[in-house]
Amino acid sequence: MNSHETFVINKFKEVAKLIPAKSKILDIGCNDGKLRDFLIDCEYYGLDLNKEIINSMIKNRIKAKQIDLNKDELPFKQERFEYITMLDVLEHIVNPEKLLMDSKNRLNENGKMIITLPNDYHILNKIRFLLNKPLTENPFAPHGHLHYFSIRDGERFLKKNGFKIIKKIPIPPVKPFVIPQSIKNFLGKNFPQTFARDVLYLMERN
């Protein structure tokens, strides 16, 4: 298992702690729907850009639809969800405000949003910047970041768009491997602006 896979699994475990069994969930930007493996008997709906992945999910009787979040309206208009997840999605969207508003309309009365925002200002990126190196392995990738959030600016953005943050969970990095994970966990939790790789937010309507 590579570092990225380990990091994603750690994130999914934190998300799963927030979602009770038998919840109805819409996973926006679901990729291959692996989040389902960490949930307990939930009614799961998935949305993603990758048509091949979505077709595979549909063949496995998963409720999923292919969608370009920069162009298409959210489907499942008649459905209302207890939880909507967007894990590392908003930074890729031309109009993240609209996506947040549209998603809010898919929540039921007591529904909650779970999102993650990458902390692009963490210490490794600061070092890369000082060394004149790209912040990602492929800065010309077709689905790169359109927005860069510091933790403070990200939270201001969420509150401005009508959400109250109930819980905030810094997600520590798994690299560099030479540093024990226990130390990275401590630094990420206590000094998130510098050391957290992602921040997970549980939110409700304000």
Inter-residue contact 19 to 2 (CB < 8 Å): no
* Bond from prior residue into 176 cis (ω within 30 degrees of 0): yes
Q: Cα–Cα distance between 186 and 197 in angstroms, integer? A: 13
**Strands laid side by side in the 163-171 sheet:** 63-66, 43-48, 24-28, 81-87, 107-118, 198-205, 163-171
According to the model, what pLDDT value does residue 106 have? 95
Q: Where are the domains of the chain?
A: 3-205
In DSSP terms, 47 is beta-bridged to 28, 65
Which residues are paired to 83 by β-bridges?
Answer: 25, 112
β-strand partners of 28: 47, 86
pLDDT on residue 133: 74
Percent of the chain with pLDDT over 70: 94
Q: Strand 81-87 and strand 63-66: pairing? A: unpaired
Domain over 3-205 is classified CATH 3.40.50.150: yes
User: Over the range 24-49, which residues count as b (16 or more CB within 10 Å of their CB) and which as e?
Assistant: bbbbbbbbbbebbebbeebebbbbbb
Per-residue pLDDT tens over the stretch 56-78: 999 999 999 999 999 999 999 99
Residue by residue, pLDDT tens for the chain (206 residues) are 788 889 999 999 999 999 999 999 999 999 999 999 999 999 999 999 999 999 999 999 999 999 999 999 999 999 999 999 999 999 999 999 999 999 999 999 999 999 999 998 777 777 776 777 766 655 545 566 788 888 999 999 999 999 999 999 999 989 888 999 999 999 999 999 899 999 999 999 98
Chain mean pLDDT for the chain:
91
CA 15 vs CA 36, 37, 39, 57, 95: distances in Å: 11, 12, 9, 21, 24
Nearest to 14 by CA among 163, 109, 115: 115
The pLDDT assigned to 23 comes to: 97
What does pTM read for this prediction? 0.90
